[in-house]
Structure formats: structure tokens, C-alpha cells
Structure 1
Amino acid sequence: MAAIISCHTHSFSFFEAPRKLATPGSRSNCIKSSSPAHRFKPLCSQKSNAFESISEQRDWSSSIKKGAISIALAVGLLGGFSDLGSLESANAAAIAPALPDVSVLISGPPIKDPGTLLRNALPIDNKAIREVQKPLEDITDSLKIAGVKALDSVERNVRQASRALKEGRTMIVGGLAKSKVDDGVALLKKLEAGFDEMMKIVEDRNRDGVAPKQKELLNYVGGVEEDMVDGFPYEVPEEYKNMPLLKGRATVDMKVKVKDNPNVEECVFRIVLDGYNAPVTSGNFVDLVERHFYDGMEIQRADGFVVQTGDPDGPAEGFIVPSTEKVRTIPLEIMVVGEKAPFYGETLEELGLYKAQTKLPFNAFGTMAMAREEFEDNSASSQVFWLLKESELTPSNANILDGRYAVFGYVTQNEELLADLKVGDVIESIQVVAGLDNLVNPSYKIAS
């Protein structure tokens, strides 16, 4: 929804959440002239009335009531302003009760690294491997110390992780799925050898060698943790079980041709899709990738906040199933921390779960999610977006996108180049490079 807080009081922006792009009649204007209908617009102007008609004012009044809790979250996260500016007192009163719930969403610095978010989202419960993971991730903070002094902190991190592995090895191996024990043990041996290699890097005072080795070690840890997942952990609801489903994870490479940028000509973005927490959403996307649905499609929105694509040519705003000639839609799918299966068909605020934390939050630069119609939870089809900016209304760790849009993956390589994409840049191809065997009920025809 479009949440507005008066700039005369707080200097906020006009916020428009990602949604399906318009039909071609208006979409052409959006692409060629950056129509404000699909961009974030400055609210401040010299007009005394921010709306152009009485009907728009009525629409606003209706919309704000529907989204009162979302605005309350945004305001509360910005410090709990008591004055909501130009909002009517009745609307302010409706918002107020939600404010006490906001504080529980903020439980420390947000995790913004996509690799960490993906590791934490795995359906496992093994304290021993997490105690190896954490100090290795803390190396990132250690490297913020100036000069070679950072290496002393890195050394402590590595020693802590190594000690945790030695002390918890029995529990870690015991947590491996029976069919994956050999692979998991092999990864643990590589991890142990990697600790010795990292210590040599520290001894040589080679600060530049730390980050690449850290990434390698965390990849081993992530592999061990994935080897702890024994099959798919829950049953997808009956009404969705025959749709394309990703029962696990998959990795795709998205190759984009960049126009009119002398610094960047071609980008390949690696994206990890998480079917453990969003099997329907991820399965739908992989199925479309295998149909080459996105190949040759332009970037259709790039406003500094999100990059969005997936609206095909023609009147339809999603993927048309050839056999039915109807748009295929998928349900809103949100996995919550502490739950064994996702919630379907309703936002978390509609469910009254104001304190819930999502397993796949909008924390990382390059968070990937489905666009949909604003007040139609189950209207997503093919349009996807990547979050770029942490704005006033979407601070990491607790924001008005979490629980309202279905996140299903993160860009894990070259994510910083997303900011260079523009409307009109072309997706040359998206290819599945790992995990295609986790897709069930594919609707495309696999070539022999």
C-alpha cells in the first residue's frame, strides 16, 4: 500500500511497495518515461492539497485504514513519533494500538549478509554447528578494525570456531542425515584444514587473504548444515501440492546486458532460491526459468529502491498457461520463525501475527520476492523484484515488507551491481546451475 506521512512534520518520502506493473497501455509510459505511478515520489510540494480530487482523498482514507498497522510499524521503527502529521486523528487512533508491538521486532543488529540469512533459514536444530558458524561470521566485524590489528581479532574468531568444532563434532556428525553422512564428514575435514590455512594467513599478517578464506570456510559450514536436512520437512497444503514445487534449494545465474553504462556492460547475478521456506513461490519461478520465460525480457522498474521485471508483453500481467490460456497465480507464502510450515493466502498482519519474525526477511541487499496486486494476496504470477535500498519505511530487521510479500531467495554474487541496472536493460538468460532435481511437478517439457 502507499503509506504517507506528512513531510511537513517528519520529511518522509511517499512510499509505494512493489506490486504488479500496469497493463501495456500504461506500462509503456512507465518504462520509457519513468511514470511516477510505479516509482517512489516526493510527497513535499507547494500545493496545499497533496491529492487532486475528493475521490482520491476517499481512496486514501480507505487505504490508510486497511494499512494502519503497517504505517504504525513504520512510524514506531523511526522512533515512535507521537504526531502523525497530516493523518486524521481517527486514523491516528486506529494506528496507536499497534505501536507497543513494534519493540519486540527489534532484537539487536539486523543480519544483512545473504549467506548468513540462508544458513539460518535451513530447517535444522543443531546448536553445535551454529557455534562453529557464528565466530566465522564474526570475522566480518573483526575486519572493520583498522590495519593489521584486525588480524588479532580474526585469530580469536578462528580459534573459537575451531574449538567449537572439536567439542561439538560428535553432535554435528550425529545431526547429519543418514544419506549425507559421508559428504558431511568430508566437508568437516575440509573445514578443519581450512582453519589451519586461515591461521597461516593470520601469521603472515595477510589481511587481504582473510575475507576469501572466510567465505570458503562458511561455504563448508553451510554445506554441512544442508547435509543435516533429511528430506523435505513438511507437507504442502492439498490445494497447492500439484503446482510446481521446489522441495529444497536451487541456484540460478541471471545474465543481464547493461545498456549505456561504460563501467558495466554485462552482469551475471548468482541467486539462491529457498524452497524449504517458499516451495510454491520458488517452484513457480524455477518452472518459468526452465520455460525461458524471462530470457530477453527487459528490466521494467529500477528506481533506486527495487529492481523489478516479469511483466510479459500483452494485456496479461503474468504467465499465461498455454493449455488453459489463463494467468497462473500463486498464493502468498510466508514462513515464520518457530513454525514448521509456511502460512498461505494472508499477510502476517491479517493473521494478527504482529510480533512474528519471517525466516526470509527483507534484510539483505538483493532480497528477491514476488510482486503482486496491492490488496490481492494471492495474485502473484511472474513479476519479481529485488530490494536495493534500506529506506525510512523499510529498515532491516523489522519493516513493512516482511510478512506482506513472499521472499524466496537472495542474490549471493555480484549483488552490488544490481544498483547499476536501469529500465530497458535486458535479461539475456536465467539458467538453473544447481538444484533442478529439487523441482517437482514441473509444467514445462524437459528436453531429452
Structure 2
Amino acid sequence: MASYISCPSLFTPRPTNPKFKFHQIRFSPAQPHLNFRQFRAKCCRIEHFNDKQKNKGFSWKECAISIALAFGFVTGVPTLGVPNHANAASMFDLAVLISGPPIKDPEALLRYALPVDNKAIREVQKPLEDINDSLKLAGVKALDSVERNVRQASRALKQGKKMIISGLAESKKDHGQESIDKLEVGMDELQQIVEDRNRDAVAPKQKELLQYVSGVEEDMVDGFPYEVPEEYQTMPLLKGRAAVDMKVKVKDNPNLEECVFRIVLDGYNAPVTAGNFVDLVERHFYDGMEIQRADGFVVQTGDPEGPAEGFIDPGTEKTRTVPLEIMVKGEKAPFYGATLEELGLYKAQTMLPFNAFGTMAMARDEFENNSASSQIFWLLKESELTPSNANILDGRYAVFGYVTENEDYLADLKVGDVIESIQVVSGIDNLVNPSYKIAG
């Protein structure tokens, strides 16, 4: 009896359905042990046939991505209904077929997502971030590599200092200059740590320096860079960044009773989505709510008690919904109401990709792009094999933040664990049109 495996077609538009079109590949009893090369050939022949019909070429990179997803990276996506279950399957190591490893560090993703175009500060940032890879080396090679990173960053800071200072917003120049001064001092301290061969002290100092870099880059942003579409301008909007602490009471776990997760919300790239969330946080909407899905793929919550699947605005007595909101690299403002697939932007890169463990996004009805309300989820996978917009989530669900502290503990959460509180710890001044301040 023949068996089948589904091979996802990433490049076949589905205007009414955000899920992939799946082709079935037949395996007969005569070839029960079809090898990887044969499978790749079958999968790519199907894709090549589709592309010939569209008069387009097909790359081996795209085929590799299709194969990776075919082996079941996920079989369920976050929706408002919650009961989906995702089964993570073993995957071939296809990294060699895909150029460039994805950035998986949430704080690095947030730095690159800032609306900043200053080459000099990026040249300082990159070698400092590369210290993570250097520390993975064994023995003295690690510190030798770190030393090269530090020298490169120091040289870039010295050569590009004038350009960095000139890139600071006028109203933030004093604070930015202070961060630059601290960065220079810290770089010398890190150099001394390396010379003393104190490996354990490298990572904490690196984190400190990258915080200064983040501060400098944020001080380069002068105001909010674009206008939100008129139809959304009266909604709660986060025009900048904010951070919240989410305290979760964990049940039936001898190793973890409670945990506080720091989450950075990005209103530069998702002002409507992030603004809606901060507004709900200030209403204490999530306080006391249980985790409603925890299946190894995502952690999800936000479905209130009763028949409603989202937040009922007491002012209108209707469910408040927010549009699908996706910012793409190279664009000045987000796209609203359509997936990138529906827009034909198959190779576009999202500014906030699903690369990091703890990526935070809005759940929605899979057939209604603008149906998100209060249900949120955190991804429990990293983008090991696929670059941005080449998996089943990028460009289809609105990312609006990342867990930056204690994200690893997300995997320990279970259905029934309770969110004791979510509190805004910074950036509340960036929220405009806060509905929680309106009586009722």
C-alpha cells in the first residue's frame, strides 16, 4: 500500500487561505526507503513544474526550504480557537543549502529593527555580537577570537565616532554622547578582561556594551518615522518601544514556582498591534488569566472567559480587533490587512521575524487577516534552517515583540499556569490614544 508525505509549496499564492498548498508525493512499497536525494528530486520536480507554468525560475535554496518544512517543522499554526496541536519532527540538516545563518538573539533582532541607518554604529555592533560565536570555541581559541572581535569594535568606534555622534537626534544628543563615552570605557575594560584571560567575565561585559550600543541607536531615532493609516489613528498606538514584565505562577513544577519574563514591545514596526497590547495590559486584562495552550510549538493565552474570543470594549460593547500589521525591510511603513504572500512579496524580509525563541505575536482566525484582538502567543522554536519569510509564520502573523529575559523558561509553562500580572516597566509615554483612561 502506498504512503504519502506532504511537500509544501512556499511559492504558490493562496489568496483566501494563509496556509501552504501541499503536494502529495507517492512512495510505493517498491521504494520504502527513498533517500534524501530522491526525495529532493521529487519535491523539486513538482515545484519546477509549477514555476514553469508561471515562467519563473526555481532555486535550490527554495527547494531546500520546502523540504525542511515538508518534514514537519510545524503542523499547526496559532489561531483563535487554541486547540491546534503542533508536532515538531526531526529535520535534515539543510543549513548548508541556505546562505547565512539567521539572527536568533532577540536583543540583536530589536537593534536591527530600529529605524536607523548609520553604518558606523552598525560596524561597532556587529563584532560585539559576534563574541557569542567566539565563546563557543574551545580553550584559548575562544579568547583569541574574542580579542579580535574587541579590537575590531574598538577600531570601528574610533574611526566612526564623528559619524555616530552626527547621527544622534538633536533632542537626545546629550544622552547619546553619555552612552558613547560609557561604550569607550567599557571597550577598554573588555580588552583588559581578555588580556587577563578571564573568560567568565566576557559575556556580562559584552551584554553591558551592547546595551550602550542599543541606547545610542535608540537615541538616533527622532520622533515616530511615519503616519499610521487614518482608519487606525484613533486606536491605541505605541509610537516607539515599551517593556513589560510578565509574572507567571507555575503549577506542578518542582523546579519552578514562578517566573518573571521581560518582554520588549516594538511600536516602531507594529504600532497598532503593540499599542493594543499595552492598552490591554494597563486594563489588567491578562492578570489572573491562565496559559491556554502549551504544546512545544507555542505558548498561548488571551482568550477571555465566556463566548467572546477577544477583548470586548466596554465603550462599544463589541470585540476590538486589530489589523494584520507587517513591516518589511526597505519599506517606510507597515502593510495592513494582507499577508505578504497575498501581496506577492514572497522574498520580502520582515523587520520582526520569527527567528528567536520567545518571539511574540498575535493569534488570529486563519481565514480572517484582521481578526486579532487579545490572544497572543510566544514561539518556542528558533529559525535554524529557514531565513526570514521562508517559514510558515513570517509575513502571516503580526510580530510585535520579543522575550529578552528568562525566555528559556517559556518551555516550562503548561496549560493552567496563571499569569499573575503584566506590568509596563518602561515606555508607557509612547502609548497614544490609551482607551483604558476612558471611564467605563
Please confirm whether the aligned pair reaches a TM-score higher than 0.5, indicating the same fold: yes
1:333 aligns with 2:341: no
* One-letter code aligned to 1:173: I
Structure 1 unaligned blocks of 5 or more: 1-6, 15-62, 73-77
User: 394, 406, 413: which one pairs with 2:398?
Assistant: 406
CA–CA separation in structure 2 for the residues paired with 1:441 and 1:304: 36
- Tell me how far 1:200 sits from its aligned partner: 1.5
Q: Which secondary structure state, in structure 1, belongs to the residue aligned with residue 190 of structure 2?
A: helix
The 1:188/1:390 distance shift into structure 2, 3 A limit, reads: closer
1:298 aligns with 2:326: no
CA–CA separation in structure 1 for the residues paired with 2:53 and 2:18: 13
Query: What's the counterpart of residue 181 of structure 1?
Result: 173
Do 2:240 and 2:427's aligned partners in 1 also have CA atoms closer than 8 Å? yes
Deviations 1:270-311 (A, max 9, x none): 000000000000000000000000000000000000000000
1:313 aligns with 2:271: no
Do 1:68 and 1:94's aligned partners in 2 also have CA atoms closer than 8 Å? no
User: 38, 42, 45: which one pairs with 1:83?
Assistant: 42
The 1:65/1:378 distance shift into structure 2, 3 A limit, reads: closer
The 1:162/1:94 distance shift into structure 2, 3 A limit, reads: closer
Do 1:371 and 1:384's aligned partners in 2 also have CA atoms closer than 8 Å? yes
Do 1:329 and 1:381's aligned partners in 2 also have CA atoms closer than 8 Å? yes
Query: What's the counterpart of residue 376 of structure 1?
Result: 368
* One-letter code aligned to 2:322: I
1:428 aligns with 2:420: yes
CA–CA separation in structure 2 for the residues paired with 1:271 and 1:96: 45
Do 1:369 and 1:408's aligned partners in 2 also have CA atoms closer than 8 Å? yes
* One-letter code aligned to 1:209: A
CA–CA separation in structure 1 for the residues paired with 2:341 and 2:21: 8
User: 93, 103, 106: which one pairs with 1:114?
Assistant: 106
Structure 1 residues 98-247: aligned runs within 5 Å: 100=58, 103=61, 107-247=99-239
CA–CA separation in structure 2 for the residues paired with 1:251 and 1:101: 40
- Tell me how far 1:103 sits from its aligned partner: 3.7
Deviations 1:402-436 (A, max 9, x none): 00000000000000000000000000000000000
* One-letter code aligned to 1:187: S
- Tell me how far 1:174 sits from its aligned partner: 0.2
Query: What's the counterpart of residue 261 of structure 2?
Result: 269
CA–CA separation in structure 1 for the residues paired with 2:212 and 2:15: 47
Q: Which secondary structure state, in structure 1, belongs to the residue aligned with residue 423 of structure 2?
A: strand
- Tell me how far 1:171 sits from its aligned partner: 0.4
CA–CA separation in structure 2 for the residues paired with 1:362 and 1:429: 25
- Tell me how far 1:337 sits from its aligned partner: 0.4
Query: What's the counterpart of residue 41 of structure 1?
Result: none
Query: What's the counterpart of residue 350 of structure 1?
Result: 342
The 1:155/1:420 distance shift into structure 2, 3 A limit, reads: same
Q: Which secondary structure state, in structure 2, belongs to the residue aligned with residue 83 of structure 1?
A: helix
Do 2:17 and 2:367's aligned partners in 1 also have CA atoms closer than 8 Å? no
* One-letter code aligned to 2:380: L
Do 2:102 and 2:383's aligned partners in 1 also have CA atoms closer than 8 Å? no
- Tell me how far 1:196 sits from its aligned partner: 1.1
Deviations 1:159-210 (A, max 9, x none): 1101100100000000000000000000000000101111111111111111
- Tell me how far 1:81 sits from its aligned partner: 3.5
TM-score (norm 1): 0.80
- Tell me how far 1:102 sits from its aligned partner: 8.3
CA–CA separation in structure 2 for the residues paired with 1:70 and 1:228: 43
Deviations 1:376-425 (A, max 9, x none): 00000000000002489x84533110000000000000000000000000
CA–CA separation in structure 1 for the residues paired with 2:263 and 2:345: 29
Do 2:154 and 2:187's aligned partners in 1 also have CA atoms closer than 8 Å? yes
CA–CA separation in structure 2 for the residues paired with 1:134 and 1:227: 18
Do 2:323 and 2:336's aligned partners in 1 also have CA atoms closer than 8 Å? yes
Number of residue equivalences: 384
Q: Which secondary structure state, in structure 1, belongs to the residue aligned with residue 306 of structure 2?
A: coil
CA–CA separation in structure 2 for the residues paired with 1:299 and 1:163: 48
* One-letter code aligned to 2:414: K
CA–CA separation in structure 1 for the residues paired with 2:21 and 2:257: 39
Deviations 1:10-44 (A, max 9, x none): 599x9xxxxxxxxxxxxxxxxxxxxxxxxxxxxxx
Do 1:121 and 1:277's aligned partners in 2 also have CA atoms closer than 8 Å? yes
- Tell me how far 1:67 sits from its aligned partner: 5.1
The 1:351/1:95 distance shift into structure 2, 3 A limit, reads: farther
Do 1:311 and 1:382's aligned partners in 2 also have CA atoms closer than 8 Å? yes
Percent identity over paired residues: 76
* One-letter code aligned to 2:139: G
Q: Which secondary structure state, in structure 2, belongs to the residue aligned with residue 316 of structure 1?
A: coil
Q: Which secondary structure state, in structure 1, belongs to the residue aligned with residue 144 of structure 2?
A: helix
Do 2:18 and 2:396's aligned partners in 1 also have CA atoms closer than 8 Å? no
Do 1:390 and 1:396's aligned partners in 2 also have CA atoms closer than 8 Å? no
* One-letter code aligned to 1:116: A
The 1:401/1:71 distance shift into structure 2, 3 A limit, reads: farther
TM-score (norm 2): 0.81
